Amino acid sequence: MSSCIAADASLSSAKPAWRAVYALALGVFGLIVAEFLPASLLTPMASSLGVSEGMAGQAVTATALVALVTGLLIATATRNIDRRWVLMFFSILQIVSSLMVAFADSLAFLLLGRLLLGIAIGGFWAMSTATAMRLVPAAHVPKALAIIFSAVSVATVVAAPLGSYLGELIGWRNVFILCAIPSLLALLWQLWVLPSMRPESVGTFSTLFRVLRRPGMLATILIFSGHFAFFTYLRPFLETVAQASIEGVSLILLGFGVANFIGTSVASYLLSRSLRLTLALVPLMMSVLALLMVTFGHLTVLAGLLVALWGFAFGLVPVAWSTWLATTVPDEAESAGGLLVASIQLAISAGAAGGGAVFDLHGASGVFTGSGLLLLSAMVIVFAAVRVKPVARADQPVTGRLSREIDN
């Protein structure tokens, strides 16, 4: 107990623990890079293991499904364990996972490694919201979340092209070995700067359902599903409707990534102005962009601009909804964070699967129309039913929750 208080004492002032936040961001970066790497390395992986690319692609599916389940269960399963050690355990899992994949001599062993990665992603990412709330004063929570999700944005952008490029140079197995380095650095950094954090409350399955019943969670699932339906079938649309070349598609996707990073970076500023308007207007903007893509997507330059604007808007989404969770259900932050991660993983699967069914019937334009309707529905839910508490401003003398634990 005394060691816990000693570790917490460093945050007894109102000063935010930014080094710890950046250590979490580096950990998230390593996890997301590892999750998306197989997408760019499927062909050599399948050839090396003697399986089809479709079978090798199950490495992505397995990770997403396990991350979904872990995100839901992690708060309850670790309710008596110091959060510092839980987070570091997940960093170790990512390192072990990457090495297992790198040295896999069969698809079964590779999938086992990817299952471990799913546990790490679901657990580490689910706790990032609640942990950020405890590391910084309330007024700085949006900025802390923006830092963490900026790492997600960067990882999403660099994973595929960097994996493909390095795979040609040094082979896919060595790429996965290199992938363990960010998590190793994050682990050492976390060991150095993360304070001890005893669990705040005992999570239960009833807690999960209480959080899930909130209209905001439905809006979150609709937004992420709309996004991933759009993004999954963006490349076929650009190649067939917009008639973009391979180089043009790459440039447009790069524009999406850069704009996404910018959106994430400015999110804290916009959220401090009005959290409710941000939550409502972002899905409205995205729905309009989806419908504009259907109407004017045959114009390559305009399509590229619309995709970049979509990237900017989506950059606000994870920060905005994590902030909503942090301000609306602070007493259930870990369960809510797990639900957010689970909804993202579910949306990846549902958006791709549902979008695929629509794509076969009506093409990419049909997918974009459906995506726009999902996002429009989310906007209506936000205005009609989502309760929003104001975000604390930086000039308010509010101390971090971790520091307040010492006084209780």
Domain-by-domain residue ranges, the chain?
15-200, 205-385
Per residue in 78-131, pLDDT (tens digit) is 877 888 898 999 999 999 999 999 999 988 899 899 899 989 988 887 787 778
Region of 363 on the Ramachandran plot (φ > 0 left; ψ -120 to 50 alpha; else beta): left
Report the C-alpha gap between 85 and 184 in whole angstroms: 15
What pLDDT sits at residue 97? 94
What pLDDT sits at residue 408? 32
Q: Which of 159, 186, 187 is nearest to 175 (CA)?
A: 159
* Rg of the chain on CA atoms, in Å: 21
Q: Residue 277: helix, strand or coil by DSSP?
A: helix
Residue for token digits 């090798």? 56
> Is there a shared CATH topology between the 15-200 domain and the 205-385 domain?
yes
Q: Where are the alpha helices (DSSP H) in 57-171?
A: 58-77, 83-102, 107-135, 141-170
What pLDDT sits at residue 109? 92
| Fold (CATH) for 15-200 | Growth Hormone; Chain: A; (1.20.1250)
The answer to whether the CB of 173 falls within 8 A of the CB of 103 is yes
- Which residues does the chain have with pLDDT short of 50? 1-13, 397-408
Amino acid identity at 39? A
**Domain 205-385, CATH 1.20.1250.20 — does that match?**
yes
Burial pattern 287-318, b for ≥16 Cβ within 10 A else e, equals: bbbbbbbbeebeebeebbbbbbbbbbbbbbbb
Please state the pTM of the whole predicted model: 0.75
Per residue in 8-50, pLDDT (tens digit) is 434 434 588 899 999 999 999 998 888 878 766 777 888 888 8
What pLDDT sits at residue 371? 92
What pLDDT sits at residue 228? 81
